[in-house]
Amino acid sequence: MKNIKTLSELEDKYIGKKGTPERTAYEKELADLMIGYQVKNARIKLDLTQEELAERIHKKRSFISRVENDGSNLTIKTLREIVEKGLGGKLNIELNI
């Protein structure tokens, strides 16, 4: 039988164990990308173009593109505006300590 590895085992090996600076940076970047992915999926589900979403929140289409491709460097205020005003949803933030 082949030596099958879990995703967590591969992350430990190639990125670093949980708690290391490399793994923490990786997990933060992944979380940022997931924000953009969720915004894009919601926009598509609502059958909106980037231009239409941008107009709803008084931003440029290029701003929506940047959010969807890299969800980092967003303020909570801006993310709330995109989700609530632009997409008609509700933003929930969860803290894990």
86 phi/psi in degrees, rounded to 5: -80, -40
Asked if residue 5 has pLDDT above 90, the reply is no
Q: How far is CA 42 from the centre of its chain?
A: 12
CATH superfamily for 7-86 is lambda repressor-like DNA-binding domains (1.10.260.40)
Please give the average per-residue pLDDT across 33-59, as a whole number.
96
- Distance between terminal CA atoms of the chain? 39
pTM of structure = 0.79
Per domain, the residue ranges of the chain are: 7-86
The most confident of 8-22, 35-49, 65-79, by mean pLDDT: 35-49
Q: CA dihedral defined by 17, 19, 22, 28, rounded to 10 degrees? A: 120
Q: Tokens 């708690």 sit at which residue?
A: 19
Average pLDDT on 33-60 reads 96
Percent of the chain with pLDDT over 70: 99
Q: What's the CA gap between 46 and 39, in Å, rounded?
A: 11
